[in-house]
Amino acid sequence: MEKIKNLWNSSVDELLNKVTWPTWDQLRESAIIVLIASIVFSILIWLLDYALGFGLDFLYGVTK
């Protein structure tokens, strides 16, 4: 039981005193960057899917 208590105390000490937490402004900026990147990647994937679908439909139409 002593090992668990030591592990708990060292974990709490590390989280409170050794971890550098971002400020709210940094957190907000990072969240905005992730949101924008997610939107851009989703649009790129949609465009790729649309183009490949159009191309395959064209090829299937030619071979009929």
pLDDT tens for 18-35 read: 999 999 999 999 999 999
Residue 6 domain-assigned (yes or no): no
Residue 62 domain-assigned (yes or no): yes
Residue 4 domain-assigned (yes or no): no
What domain count does the chain have? 1
**Structural domain for 33, as ranges:** 22-64
What's the pLDDT band for 40 if we cut at 50, 70, 90? Answer: very high
Q: Please report the pLDDT score of residue 9 as a whole number.
A: 93
Query: Quick check: 64 pLDDT over 80?
Result: no
Pure H helices in the chain: 2-13, 24-63
Instruction: Classify each residue of 21-53 as buried b or exposed e, where b means 16 or more C-beta atoms within 10 Å of its C-beta.
Output: eeeeeeeeeeeeeeeeeeeeeeeeeeeeeeeee
What's the pLDDT band for 63 if we cut at 50, 70, 90? Answer: confident
CA distance 62 to 28: 51
